[in-house]
Amino acid sequence: FQVITLEGWVEIMYYVMDAHSFYNFIYFILLIIVGSFFMINLCLVVIATQFSETKQREHQLMQEQRAQCSSSSTLASEPG
C-alpha cells in the first residue's frame, strides 16, 4: 500500500534491492505504474459517478419544482 500511494516507496525499494537482487526495481516500477493508475482511475470513477448522480437528482428536483409552480399558478389564475 505504501508503494502504491508513493509515500516513502524509494526506501522500501532500496531495502528490498539490498536484501535480494538489483533487478527487483522492475517489480516496483510495474507496481507503481499499475497500482497508481488503478488508484487514480478508481478515485476519478467515484468522483464522476457522484457528480452524475447529484446532477440527475438536482435536475429531477428542478422538474418537480417547475411542475409544482405551474400547477399552483394555474390554480391561482382561475376565476372562482
pLDDT at position 76 is 59
Judge whether 21 lies within some domain. Answer: yes
pLDDT at position 60 is 95
Judge whether 73 lies within some domain. Answer: no
Q: Give the long-range contacts of residues 26-35, CB within 8 A, separation 24 or more.
A: 28/3, 31/3, 31/4, 32/3, 32/4, 32/6, 35/3, 35/4
pLDDT per residue over 29-49, tens digit each? 888 888 878 888 888 999 999
- What share of the chain in percent tops pLDDT 90? 25
Question: Which cell numbers in the block locate residue 9?
Answer: 516507496
User: What is the model's pTM?
Assistant: 0.52
Judge whether 15 lies within some domain. Answer: yes
Judge whether 1 lies within some domain. Answer: no
Judge whether 63 lies within some domain. Answer: yes
Judge whether 4 lies within some domain. Answer: no
Asked if residues 31 and 3 have their Cβ atoms less than 8 Å apart, the reply is: yes
Judge whether 17 lies within some domain. Answer: yes
pLDDT above 90 (res 50): yes
Question: How many structural domains comprise the chain?
Answer: 1
**Nearest residue to 32 via CA among 59, 1, 62:** 1
Full domain range(s) for residue 24? 9-67
For residue 72, which amino acid is it?
S
pLDDT per residue over 60-78, tens digit each? 999 999 888 877 666 655 5
Judge whether 3 lies within some domain. Answer: no
